[in-house]
Structure 1
Amino acid sequence: MALHVPKAPGFAQMLKEGARHYTGLEEAVVRNIIACKEFAQSVRSAYGPNGMNKMVINHIEKQFVTSDAATIMRELDVEHPAAKLMIMGSQMQDSEVGDGTNFVVILAGALLEHSEELIHLGVTPTEIAEGFEKALDKCLEILPNLVCYTIKDYRNVEEVTKGIKTSIQSKQYGNEDFLAGLVAKACVSIIPEDTTFNVDNVRICKVLGSGLLNSQVVQGMVFKRQIEGEVTKVEKAQIAVFSCAVDIMQTETKGTVLIKTADELMNFSRGEENLLELQIKSIADAGAKVLVAGAKFGDMAMHYINKYGLMAVRLNSKFDLRRLCKTVGATCLPRLTAPTAQELGYADIVCVEELGDTPVVSFKLSGKESRLSTIVIRGSTDNYMDDVERAIDDGVNTFKGISRDGRFLPGAGAVEAELAIQLIKYADTLPGLEQYAVRKFASALEGFPKALADNSGHRSSVALQKVLEAHQNGRKNVGIDIESESAVCDVLEKNILDLYQCKYWGLKYAVGAATTILRVDQIIMAKRAGGPKARQPQGSDDES
Structure 2
Amino acid sequence: MALHVPKAPGFASMLKDGARHYSGLEEAVIRNIDACKEFGQTVQTCYGPNGMNKMVINHLDKLFVTNDAATIIRELEVEHPAAKMLILGAQMQENEVGDATNLVIILASQLLKEAEDLIRMGLKPTEIADGYEKALDKALEILDTLSCMEVKNTKDVEQVKKAIRTAVMSKQYGHEDFLAELISKACITILPEKTTFNVDNVRICKILGSGVLKSEVVSGMVFRRNIESNITKKENCKVAIYTCPVDAMQTETKGTVLIKSAAELTDFSRGEETQLENQIKAIADAGTGVIVSGGKIGDMALHYINKYNMLAVRLTSKWDIRRLAKATGAIALPRLTAPTSEELGMADKVYLDELGDTEIVVFKVGSEESRLSTIVVRGSTDNYMDDIERAIDDGVNVFKGLCKDGRLTAGGGATEIELAKQLAAWGETHPGLEQYSIGKFAQSLEVVPRVLAENSGVKAKEVISSLYAAHAEGKKNVGFDIEGEAGDCKDCCESGVFDLLLSKKWAMKYATNAACTVLRVDQIIMAKRAGGPKPRDTSGPMDQDDD
Range class of TM-score, shorter chain: over 0.9
Q: Confirm or deny that 1:138 pairs with 2:138.
A: yes
Query: Which residue does 2:517 correspond to in 1?
Result: 516
Amino acid in structure 1 at the alignment position of 2:507: G
The 3-state SS of whatever aligns with 2:446 is helix
Amino acid in structure 2 at the alignment position of 1:457: G
Amino acid in structure 2 at the alignment position of 1:266: T
Q: Deviations over 1:149-175 (max 9, x none)?
A: 111111222211111111111111111
Query: Which residue does 2:27 correspond to in 1?
Result: 27
Q: In structure 2, do the counterparts of structure 1 residues 60 and 334 end up closer, same or farther at CA, with 3 Å as the change threshold?
A: closer
Query: Which residue does 2:492 correspond to in 1?
Result: 491
Amino acid in structure 1 at the alignment position of 2:134: K
Matched-pair contact (CA < 8 Å) for 1:104–1:506: yes
Once the 2 structures are TM-superposed, how far is the Cα of residue 536 of structure 1 from its aligned partner? 6.3
Alignment of 1:238-253 (within 5 A): 238-251=238-251
The 3-state SS of whatever aligns with 2:184 is helix
Distance 1:333 1:87 in 2: 40
Matched-pair contact (CA < 8 Å) for 1:453–1:487: no
Distance 1:523 1:252 in 2: 58
Once the 2 structures are TM-superposed, how far is the Cα of residue 9 of structure 1 from its aligned partner? 0.8
Once the 2 structures are TM-superposed, how far is the Cα of residue 364 of structure 1 from its aligned partner? 2.0
The 3-state SS of whatever aligns with 1:146 is coil
Amino acid in structure 1 at the alignment position of 2:105: V
Query: Which residue does 2:445 correspond to in 1?
Result: 445
Query: Which residue does 1:542 correspond to in 2?
Result: none
Query: Which residue does 1:108 correspond to in 2?
Result: 108
Amino acid in structure 2 at the alignment position of 1:488: C
Query: Which residue does 2:196 correspond to in 1?
Result: 196
Query: Which residue does 1:505 correspond to in 2?
Result: 506
Amino acid in structure 1 at the alignment position of 2:516: T
The 3-state SS of whatever aligns with 1:205 is strand
Matched-pair contact (CA < 8 Å) for 1:289–1:310: yes
- C-alpha RMSD of matched pairs (Å): 1.8
Amino acid in structure 2 at the alignment position of 1:112: L
What TM-score, normalized to structure 2?
Answer: 0.95
Distance 1:424 1:487 in 2: 24
Distance 1:494 1:432 in 2: 42
Once the 2 structures are TM-superposed, how far is the Cα of residue 466 of structure 1 from its aligned partner? 0.9
Query: Which residue does 2:180 correspond to in 1?
Result: 180
Query: Which residue does 1:290 correspond to in 2?
Result: 290
Q: Deviations over 1:94-132 (max 9, x none)?
A: 111111101110001001111111111111111111111
What TM-score, normalized to structure 1?
Answer: 0.96
Amino acid in structure 2 at the alignment position of 1:377: V
Distance 2:95 2:539 in 1: 42
Q: In structure 2, do the counterparts of structure 1 residues 335 and 129 end up closer, same or farther at CA, with 3 Å as the change threshold?
A: same
Amino acid in structure 2 at the alignment position of 1:213: L
Q: Deviations over 1:193-251 (max 9, x none)?
A: 22111111111111111110111111111111222222222233332212221111234
Amino acid in structure 2 at the alignment position of 1:533: K
Matched-pair contact (CA < 8 Å) for 1:219–1:370: no
Distance 2:482 2:85 in 1: 32
Distance 1:166 1:276 in 2: 56
Matched-pair contact (CA < 8 Å) for 1:182–1:217: yes
Matched-pair contact (CA < 8 Å) for 2:365–2:371: no
Alignment of 1:189-338 (within 5 A): 189-251=189-251, 255-338=255-338
Amino acid in structure 1 at the alignment position of 2:514: A
Once the 2 structures are TM-superposed, how far is the Cα of residue 440 of structure 1 from its aligned partner? 1.0
Once the 2 structures are TM-superposed, how far is the Cα of residue 338 of structure 1 from its aligned partner? 2.6
Query: Which residue does 2:534 correspond to in 1?
Result: 533
The 3-state SS of whatever aligns with 1:227 is coil
Matched-pair contact (CA < 8 Å) for 1:408–1:500: yes
Of the structure 1 ranges 410-419 and 355-364, higher mean CA displacement relative to structure 2 is found in 355-364
Distance 1:155 1:341 in 2: 34
Matched-pair contact (CA < 8 Å) for 1:225–1:360: yes
Unpaired stretches in structure 1, ≥5 consecutive residues: 540-544
Of the structure 1 ranges 343-352 and 91-100, higher mean CA displacement relative to structure 2 is found in 343-352
Distance 1:338 1:398 in 2: 43
Q: Confirm or deny that 1:152 pairs with 2:152.
A: yes
Q: In structure 2, do the counterparts of structure 1 residues 80 and 538 end up closer, same or farther at CA, with 3 Å as the change threshold?
A: closer
The 3-state SS of whatever aligns with 1:145 is coil
Distance 1:536 1:283 in 2: 58
Amino acid in structure 2 at the alignment position of 1:502: S
Matched-pair contact (CA < 8 Å) for 1:142–1:419: yes
Of the structure 1 ranges 163-172 and 285-294, higher mean CA displacement relative to structure 2 is found in 285-294
Distance 2:459 2:521 in 1: 37
Once the 2 structures are TM-superposed, how far is the Cα of residue 343 of structure 1 from its aligned partner? 3.0
Matched-pair contact (CA < 8 Å) for 2:192–2:368: no
Matched-pair contact (CA < 8 Å) for 1:458–1:487: no
The 3-state SS of whatever aligns with 1:363 is strand
Q: In structure 2, do the counterparts of structure 1 residues 369 and 522 end up closer, same or farther at CA, with 3 Å as the change threshold?
A: closer
Distance 1:286 1:141 in 2: 61
Distance 2:195 2:235 in 1: 30
Percentage of matched positions with identical amino acids = 64
Q: Deviations over 1:17-37 (max 9, x none)?
A: 111111111111111111101
